[in-house]
Structure 1
Amino acid sequence: MIEPIGDSERIIIVANRLSVSASITENAVEFSQSMGGLATGLSSLQEYYQMLWVGWCGIPREEMSDEQHALIEQRLKDEYRSIAVDLTQEEVQQFYLGFCNNTIWPLFHYFPTYVDYSHENFATYERVNQAYFERLRPHIRPDDIIWVHDYQLMLLPQYIRDEFPDVRIGFFLHIPFPSYEMFRLLPWRRELMDGVLGADLVGFHTYDYARHFLSAVRRIVGLDNHLGRIALEGRTIGVDVFPMGIDYERYAKASQQPEVMEFIDKIDGSLDEQHLILSVDRLDYSKGIPNRLWGYRYFLEQHPEWHGRVSLAMIVAPSREGVPQYQDLKREVDELISDINGTFSTLD
Structure 2
Amino acid sequence: MPPRGTASARAIESSVVVASNRGPVSFDRDERGRLAPRRGTGGLVTALSGVFYRDDTSWVSAAMTDGDRAVALKGRTVDTDSHQRMRYVVIPPDRYDGYYNEVSNRILWMAHHNLWDIPRSPMFDDTTQEAWHDFVESNRAFAQALAQEADNDPVYLIQDYHLCLVPGMLRELVPDAKIVHFSHTPFAGATYLRVLPVTMRTALLRGMAGADVLGFQSKQWAENYLLSARSLPELRVLRGGRIDVDGRVASVRSFPVAVSAEPLRETANSPEADEVRAELGAWAGDSKLILRVDRLEPSKNILRGFLAYELFLRRNPSWVGAVRFLCLFSPSREDVPEYRNYGEECLAEAARINDEMGTTSWEPIEVRVQEDYAFAVAAYDLYDVLLVNPTYDGMNLVAMEGPLVNRRDGVLVLSRNAGAFSRLGRQSLGVNPFDLAETAEAMREALEMPDEERARRARGLSRTVQAHTPATWLADQLDAVDQVRPPSHRRS
State the match for 2:218 in structure 1.
206
Cα deviation, 1:255-288, whole Å, max 9, x if unaligned, reads 3345434532443244322233221101221111
Rate the CA distance shift 1:107–1:259 in 2: closer, same or farther, 3 A: closer
Deviation at 1:159, TM superposition (A): 1.0
TM (norm. structure 2) is 0.63
Shift of 1:116: 4.8
1:54 maps to which of 55, 60, 80: 60
Matched, 1:239 2:252: yes
Alpha-carbon spacing, 1:30–1:341, altered in 2? closer, same or farther (3 Å): farther
CA offsets per residue over residues 47-85 of structure 1, 9 Å max, x none?
Answer: 3462111112433xxxx3xx7742688896333421122
Q: Which residue of structure 2 lines up, in the alignment, with residue 40 of structure 1? A: 46
Question: Which SS does the other structure have where 1:219 is aligned?
Answer: coil
Take 1:305 and 1:58, find their aligned partners in 2: how far apart are those partners? Answer: 51
Give the Cα–Cα distance (whole angstroms) in 2 for the partners of residues 191 and 105 of structure 1.
16
Alignment of 1:113-128 (within 5 A): 113=118, 114-117=121-124, 118-128=128-138
Aligned length: 341
Q: 1:142·1:167 contact (CA, 8 Å) conserved in 2?
A: no
Does the CA-based 8 Å contact 1:170-1:201 persist in structure 2? yes
User: Residue 77 of structure 1 is aligned with which of 62, 69, 79?
Assistant: 79
Q: In the alignment, is residue 90 of structure 1 matched against residue 55 of structure 2?
A: no
- CA 1:116/1:151 → structure 2, altered by over 3 Å: closer, same or farther? farther
Q: Which residue of 1 aligns with 2:452?
A: none
Is the alpha carbon distance of 1:5 and 1:268 closer, same or farther for their aligned partners in structure 2, counting shifts above 3 Å?
Answer: farther
> Match for 1:17 among 16, 22, 25?
22
User: In structure 2, the residue corresponding to 1:286 is in which secondary structure?
Assistant: helix
- Name the CA shift for 1:267/1:338 in 2 (closer, same or farther; >3 Å): closer
Q: 1:301 aligns with which of 298, 314, 318?
A: 314
Distance 1:240 1:330, change over 3 A: same
1:101 counterpart = 2:102: no
Whole-angstrom CA distance in 2 between matches of 1:52 and 1:5: 18
Unaligned runs of 5+ residues in structure 2 are 3-7, 362-492
Q: Does 1:284 align with 2:294?
A: no
- SS class of match (1:202): strand
The answer to whether the Cα contact below 8 Å between 1:8 and 1:143 also exists between their aligned partners in 2 is no
3-state SS, counterpart of residue 198 of structure 1:
coil
User: Does the Cα contact within 8 Å between 2:26 and 2:40 map onto a contact in 1?
Assistant: yes
Counterpart among 178, 183, 186 of residue 176 in structure 1: 186
SS at match of 2:230: helix
Superposed, which structure 2 residues align to 1:255-270 within 5 Å? 255-270=268-283
What one-letter code is carried by the residue in structure 1 that aligns with 2:201?
Answer: R
Equivalent AA in structure 2 for residue 89 of structure 1: P
Q: CA deviation at 1:128?
A: 0.4
Q: Tell me which amino acid in the other structure corresponds to 1:111.
A: L
SS at match of 2:346: helix
Q: Which residue of 2 aligns with 1:160?
A: 170
| Structure 2 counterpart of 1:32, one-letter code | R
Deviation at 1:46, TM superposition (A): 2.6
Q: Mean alpha-carbon deviation: is it higher for 9-18 or for 231-240?
A: 231-240
> Structure 1 residue 332: deviation in Å?
0.6
Query: Structure 1 counterpart of 2:169, which letter?
Result: Y
Say if 1:109 and 1:286, in contact at 8 Å, map to a contact too: yes
CA contact (8 A) 1:10 1:49 kept: no
CA–CA distance in 1 between the matches of 2:310 and 2:30? 42
Who is 1:347 aligned against?
360
Query: Aligned partners of 1:6 and 1:110: how far apart in 2?
Result: 35
Residue 230 of structure 1: how far off its partner (Å): 1.9
Unaligned runs of 5+ in 1: none
The CA distance in 1 between the partners of 2:326 and 2:110, in whole Å, is 27
Q: Distance in 2 between matches of 1:259 and 1:284?
A: 27
Q: Is the 8 Å Cα contact of residues 77 and 83 (structure 1) preserved in structure 2?
A: no
Deviations 1:72-106 (A, max 9, x none): 88896333421122223212321111001111111
Q: Partners in 2 of 1:12 and 1:236 — Cα distance?
A: 22
| CA distance in structure 1 between the aligned counterparts of 2:28 and 2:339, rounded to whole angstroms | 23
**Is the 2:69–2:88 contact (alpha carbons within 8 Å) kept by the matching residues of 1?**
no
- Aligned residues of 2:22 and 2:40 also touching (Cα < 8 A): no
Q: Helix, strand or coil for the counterpart of 2:156?
A: strand
User: Which residue identity lines up with residue 190 of structure 1 in the other structure?
Assistant: T
Q: Secondary structure at the match of 2:90?
A: coil
Higher RCO (Cα < 8 Å, 6 or more apart) = 2
2:432 counterpart residue number: none
Question: 1:322-346 deviations in whole A, cap 9, x for unaligned?
Answer: 2121122012112112212222333
Overall identity of the aligned pairs, in %: 27
Q: 1:233 to 1:329 in 2, by over 3 A?
A: same
Structure 1 residues 87 and 25: CA distance shift in structure 2, 3 A: farther
Give the conservation status (yes or no) of the 8 Å contact 1:98–1:121: yes
**Aligned to 2:184, what secondary structure does the other structure show?**
coil
Shift of 1:17: 0.8
Aligned-partner Cα distance in 1 for 2:122–2:17: 32
**Cα–Cα, structure 1 residues 261 and 98, in superposed 2: closer, same or farther, change >3 Å?**
same
| Match of residue 196, structure 1, among 201, 204, 208 | 208
Distance across 1 between alignment mates of 2:266 and 2:103: 39
- Residues of 2 paired with 1:144 and 1:169: CA distance? 9
Alignment partners' CA distance in 2, 1:319 and 1:298: 27
- 2: distance between equivalents of 1:68 and 1:133? 18
Aligned residue type for 1:171: H
